Amino acid sequence: MKVVIQDDAAQVAAYCADLIVRRIVARPAMVLGLATGATPLALYRELVAACRAGRVSFREVSTFNLDEYWGLPAVHPQSYRHFMDRHLFDHIDIDPVNTAVPRGDAANAAQACADYEAAIARKGGIDLQLLGIGRNGHIGFNEPFSSLRSRTRIKTLSRSTIADNARFFAAGEFQPHLAITMGIGTILESRTALLVATGAAKAAAIRAMVEGPVTASCPASALQLHERAVVVIDEAAASALTDVEFFKHIERENRRLENPGPGTPPH
């Protein structure tokens, strides 16, 4: 797991946007996995700015979102489809046909889950999957004790996740307790996993993910088994790691390897 520690949330967003832009420029028809939540918003603003400035085009890009509330139609203001349209898709040159978010109102749940997996496979798999992390270590809506090889399915949300997300719903408004989410197995098949986290509220989950055992108690810890997992966090989210300096040292060495200056001895 590559852990990149940035000074603050703005730098985290800039680092990740730069990484994604470079990937799209290198492979314009890439398949991008996307996430919702407050954390990626600054990153999405950076991607919109890059697109408007002509530094990147999403014309050939396809996207797959991680999850959706089960029971909300796409047009619902709290649906993740609505969130993605409002914060990203409406402001970039992507073809809406190529933006997939699981259907929260499908008549047949099992079929909707199987169809989502098949759609990812038809596109050749996900090149880069963006992830946030819940305070309880969830990724997508894979709550603690999710099977580490799970596929897209309907999940019951934990009480802490429902409480964390209640801020987005008006008092008395229906708040789903179920979600349709890519499984951990689905996420592990992405070619690169890029997890972003900012703020002290995520510090314990980050520590469990990076330093803890691989365990269904912390679904994000499954990323230790991913071939190319990149974790980009700010100082606050890194604050519970045992040896922050070690990760910073590795990053400096990585940069030296990527950009060896004149006279840099080979490693």
- Residue of 69, 58, 132 lying closest to 101 (CA atoms): 69
Q: Provide, rounded to whole angstroms, the least separation between the CB of residue 252 and ligand GLP.
A: 28
Residues that bind ligand GLP (CB under 6 A): 35-39, 66-67, 132-134, 140-141, 161, 165
Q: Which is nearer to ligand GLP, 14 or 162 (CB)?
A: 162
Q: Which of 68, 127, 143, 234 is catalytic?
A: 143
- Are 30 and 58 in contact by the 8 Å Cβ rule? The answer is no
Q: Which is nearer to ligand GLP, 56 or 133 (CB)?
A: 133
Active site residue 143: yes
Q: Which is nearer to ligand GLP, 161 or 221 (CB)?
A: 161
Would you call 68 helix, strand, or coil by DSSP? Answer: strand
Q: Which is nearer to ligand GLP, 56 or 100 (CB)?
A: 100
Q: Provide, rounded to whole angstroms, the least separation between the CB of residue 86 and ligand GLP.
A: 15
Active site residue 65: no
Active site residue 142: no
Q: Which of 65, 76, 138, 226 is catalytic?
A: 138
β-strand partners of 181: 67, 153
Q: Pull the structure tokens for residue 64.
A: 């797959």
CA 19 to chain centre: 14
What 3 state SS string does 182-227 have?
CCHHHHHCCCEEEEEECCHHHHHHHHHHHHCCCECCEHHHHHHHCC
Q: Provide, rounded to whole angstroms, the least separation between the CB of residue 36 and ligand GLP.
A: 5
Active site residue 105: no
Could you tell me which residues come within 8 angstroms of residue 165 by beta carbon, excluding any fewer than 6 positions away?
157, 175
Q: Provide, rounded to whole angstroms, the least separation between the CB of residue 40 and ligand GLP.
A: 7
Q: Which of 46, 67, 127, 189 is catalytic?
A: 67
Positions annotated as catalytic residues are: 67, 136, 138, 143
